[in-house]
Amino acid sequence: MNEKEFLEHWNQEIPMHDAWGDFVTSTICKHLKTNGKDLSSFLKQSPEHRIKDTTSLLDKAFYRTNKNYENPYEEIEDKVGCRFVVLLIEQIEEISDVIVNEESWDHKECRHFYSEREKEPLLFTYQSVHYVVRSKTEFIHNDVLIHPGTPCEIQIRTLLQHAYAELTHDAVYKAKTLVQPEVHRTVAKSMALIETTDDFFSDVNSRLIFDVSGEFDFQEKLDSLYKEYVGFESASAQKSSIVIFDEFRDLIDEDLLRKVERFIRKECYLSDVIRGGVGENPFYKQSVIIFLLYMVKKKKHRLINGWPLNYRILENLAMVVGVSLDHD
Amino acid sequence: MNIVNLQVQRIVIHQIHQRDEDGKKVTPSRGTEFIRFDAEAMNTFKSRFINAIGAESKAVPMSIVNQESTDLPPMVDMLSECGDEDFISLSYDVANKLADAQQRKNLQGGIVVVFGGLYGATPKKFVGIMKAEIHSAYGKKVDDLTSEITLKYIEEALLTPATKLYKTAAFFEKSTTPEGDDLNSKWDVLVSDSQISQAEGKAAALYFYSSFLGCGYPETCARTTKQFYDATCEFLNDIDVSEEKRNDLHNALVSYLKHENSDVVNPLEFSSRYFDVETRDSYSEFLEDKEIPNTAFTKDIEFISGKLKTRKLSFSKDVKLIAPSQVFKELVDIQSINVNDAGEAVKWTKIIVKDEIVAQE
């Protein structure tokens, strides 16, 4: 296939690659959503697919010295691609799992920084995970027929890896001008730093998850108590809730939960009080209100001693359940 | 009593004045309209009221003594039922009654707040009366232009929480149906006086609870005092402290009930004096589980005077040590021994009696 034939073929097939890219991206997003991810926060940039720029495609097929393609049209796999950028290393794995387990395509792992780090332990350079997926069967998507074997490249990176790639990929590795050795050195130092930072991020994240897991459970149980006794879903816990759980963390255990439940069951007027307060006081929408009413009634001294929010809120709670805060 | 879901519906104020030089009553100044608080001011007012008479406050339950038609309790009964016009004029009679009761010349005047409404899960009526003395205070003022903060002198302020210049009485309708004409079967009364110090050991100034309110200390206190004593002993025997500390606490309980010159028992005061924060909460919970009031109540040691006379230590093998409580406190030291000379774990007690043996059998 000469350059002209290549170009004609490509122009004809652009809509198919476009549709295939869209299918791949939306399929992955769909699975992530099913797994409970809020895509607007999980993905750090929109994963929209992109068709390779024609000039760059021709350049890659016919002019690059380091690429010796027998059949460039078939062998070039990034004619369409998409990119998933996440915060943490472990989130890359979650996306990889989705790609590897999808039935409608065959996948091939083209590069993975883990294996590259093993191969070249002394090198600090571009890191990313690349997959190429090819459709298994002929099918129609967005009114376009997609041939089996159509490739799409998927890149998955952390935000920091992405920042590195944005800075260097075009400028340093594809630059036609010769790059100074000290620039290479600085860039390598940056990647070393990025890899270190990514590890720290993961470490921090796993500790945070571990720390709140006990409370998280408590929060969920409170949410379900709220639903059961107040009659509708509570609002999601705001920072004020977290500050409160943080302050009284040492009290939180299974036993406390049983006591709180017994309390809300016994003091049945509280359901009405909470329902009545929802309109004027947004605090009453969070399930932490049940915990606080219990505390003000049963553990007043501890509550006053550690109270982390505005005292007026505490006064209001005490007034509702008729407990005096007066003390010398 | 559970004072939850408090809804204040009507508030009227009048002003009473200090007696003149000759000790004659000065006619109170009359308020003619209901006070309309905005939401925030109303919440603050309710907070003051709950702080004075709510659970774990210093308020003391009292019983109604004077029930003639000119006495205050029947007036309260009427206040709870009457229409708005009558409420305003009856509340002025209340103020007048307080002015009458303030016989001594040095007693300050103040604002009398008469208010009523509903409380409780299945709403019942309540009537509250507050006498708040007027004092001077400062208000913060911020200059709009320079943001500079200055103080504005307020000559007449009232109900500021820290000054505690107010007395409160509250009549809560009972959830049971009243029997006969006795107002005690219809109303629970709580009285709180922030101007009476704990040391004086009274629930409230006599002129306030007796001459004005027509109430007195209830008669059932001997039972409550005994329950308090028994429950607190049980609690002390159960908490995780050293035997030395436990002994101190038992001594403290005896002193609190026997030697303190006070007419009231306040579990909260006892616990804040002797327990740390965590223990205070579990003590309150413990008393509540045993249905012992967590508000103050009148002291009557009739049923426990025998117990308070002596302190007794009992051991598992019938060894007993008995001493008059004052002597026990002064002359007996105890100490736990957890390891014997051979290094084995034991549960022994070392007792030092700072006295000589005068007889043996």
Task: Delimit the domains of chain A by residue range.
Answer: 3-179, 213-321
Cα separation, B225 vs A14, in Å, equals 92
Give the nearest partner residue to B56 out of A267, A324, A328, using CB atoms.
A324
In this structure, the answer to whether residues B295 and B245 fall within a common structural domain is yes
CB contact under 8 A, A322 and B272: no
Cα separation, A328 vs A301, in Å, equals 12
CA distance B120 to chain A (A): 8
Cα separation, B97 vs B106, in Å, equals 17
Residue A216 pLDDT level (bands cut at 50, 70, 90)? low
Residue B289 pLDDT level (bands cut at 50, 70, 90)? confident
Cα separation, B287 vs B247, in Å, equals 20
In this structure, the answer to whether residues B200 and B302 fall within a common structural domain is no
Domain-embedded: residue B292: yes
In this structure, the answer to whether residues B314 and B238 fall within a common structural domain is yes
The residue out of B193, B216, B239 marking a domain boundary is B216
In this structure, the answer to whether residues B129 and B43 fall within a common structural domain is yes
Beta bridge partners of B335: B350
Q: What is the chain B residue with the closest CA to A294? A: B285
In this structure, the answer to whether residues B212 and B243 fall within a common structural domain is no
Domain-embedded: residue B1: no
Backbone torsion region of residue A226, taken as left when φ is above 0, otherwise alpha when ψ lies between -120 and 50, otherwise beta: alpha
pLDDT at B260 over 90: no
CA distance B162 to chain A (A): 10
Mean pLDDT for all residues in chain A: 87
The residue out of B216, B232, B253 marking a domain boundary is B216
Average pLDDT of B229-251? 88
Domain-embedded: residue B290: yes
Most confident of A252-256, A294-298, B334-338: A294-298
Q: Which of A73-87, A200-214, A251-265, B160-174 is the least confident region? A: A200-214
Which chain B residues are closer than 8 Å to A323 by Cβ?
Answer: 50, 54-56
Q: Which of A16-20, A86-90, A184-188, B289-293 is the least confident region? A: B289-293
φ/ψ (deg, to 5) at B69:
-60, -25
User: With pLDDT > 90 as the criterion, what percentage of chain A qualifies?
Assistant: 37
Interface of A with B (CB under 8 A): 267-270, 272-273, 280, 297-302, 305, 315-316, 318-328
At which residue do the structure tokens 């387990």 appear? A101
Which chain B residues are closer than 8 Å to A299 by Cβ?
Answer: 281, 285
CB contact under 8 A, B277 and A269: no
Mean pLDDT for all residues in chain B: 86
pLDDT at A175: 55
CA distance A317 to chain B (A): 10
pLDDT at B258: 83
pLDDT at B153: 85
Give the nearest partner residue to A325 out of B5, B51, B278, using CB atoms.
B51
CB contact under 8 A, A324 and B53: yes
pLDDT at B259 over 60: yes
User: What string of DSSP letters covers A284-319?
Assistant: GGBTHHHHHHHHHHH-HHHHHHH--S-HHHHHHHHH
pLDDT at A327 over 80: no
Domain-embedded: residue B337: yes
Which chain A residues are closer than 8 Å to B278 by Cβ?
Answer: 301-302
Q: What sign for the dihedral angle of Cα A294, A298, A301, A306?
A: negative
Which chain A residues are closer than 8 Å to B2 by Cβ?
Answer: 322
Element (H, E) at A106: strand A105-111
pLDDT at B117: 94
Angle (CA) A43-A49-A54 rounded to 5° is 145
Residue A214 pLDDT level (bands cut at 50, 70, 90)? low
pLDDT digits 0-9 by tens, A34-84: 888 889 989 999 999 999 999 888 888 888 767 678 888 888 899 999 999
Q: Which two tokens stand for residue A292?
A: 């606080």
Which chain B residues are closer than 8 Å to A300 by Cβ?
Answer: 56, 281, 284
A63 burial via Cβ count (<10 Å: 0-12, 13-18, 19+): exposed
Q: How many structural domains compose chain B?
A: 2
Give the nearest partner residue to A326 out of B2, B58, B285, using CB atoms.
B58
pLDDT digits 0-9 by tens, B316-353: 888 888 888 888 888 888 888 888 888 888 888 888 99
In this structure, the answer to whether residues B284 and B299 fall within a common structural domain is yes
Which chain B residues are closer than 8 Å to A248 by Cβ?
Answer: none
Which chain B residues are closer than 8 Å to A326 by Cβ?
Answer: 51-52, 57-58, 194
CB contact under 8 A, B54 and A324: yes
In this structure, the answer to whether residues B193 and B234 fall within a common structural domain is no
pLDDT at B177: 84
How crowded is residue B3: how many other Cβ atoms within 10 Å of its Cβ?
Answer: 24
Give the nearest partner residue to B56 out of A268, A315, A323, using CB atoms.
A323
pLDDT digits 0-9 by tens, B173-207: 988 888 888 888 899 999 988 877 655 667 788 88
For A17, the 3-state DSSP assignment is helix
CB contact under 8 A, A316 and B47: yes
CB contact under 8 A, A273 and B53: no
For A108, the 3-state DSSP assignment is strand
pLDDT at A174: 54
Interface test with A, best of B6, B56, B286 (most A CBs within 10 A): B56
pLDDT at A213 over 60: no
Cα separation, A16 vs A25, in Å, equals 14
In this structure, the answer to whether residues B52 and B180 fall within a common structural domain is yes
For B334, the 3-state DSSP assignment is strand
φ/ψ (deg, to 5) at A152:
-145, 135
How big is chain B, counted in residues? 361
Cα separation, A259 vs A265, in Å, equals 10
Q: Are B337 and B345 in contact (CB under 8 A)?
A: no
The residue out of B216, B248, B279 marking a domain boundary is B216
**A3-179 CATH fold:** Beta Polymerase; domain 2 (3.30.460)
Q: Are B16 and B95 in contact (CB under 8 A)?
A: yes
CB contact under 8 A, A319 and B57: no
CB pairs under 8 A between A and B: 84
Range of the domain at B308: 221-353
Which chain B residues are closer than 8 Å to A298 by Cβ?
Answer: 281, 284-285, 288
CB contact under 8 A, B51 and A301: no
Question: How remote is the C-alpha of B230 from its chain's centroid?
Answer: 20
pLDDT at A325: 85
In this structure, the answer to whether residues B54 and B181 fall within a common structural domain is yes
pLDDT at B213: 92
CB contact under 8 A, A298 and B281: yes
pLDDT at A173: 58
How big is chain A, counted in residues? 328
Q: What is the chain B residue with the closest CA to A251? A: B278
pLDDT digits 0-9 by tens, A92-103: 999 999 999 999
Cα separation, A52 vs A6, in Å, equals 14
Q: How far is CA A209 from CA A212, A213, A214, A239, B98, in A?
A: 5, 6, 9, 16, 63
- Looking at this protein, which amino acid is placed at residue B310? T
Q: What does the DSSP 8-state code read for residue A52?
A: P
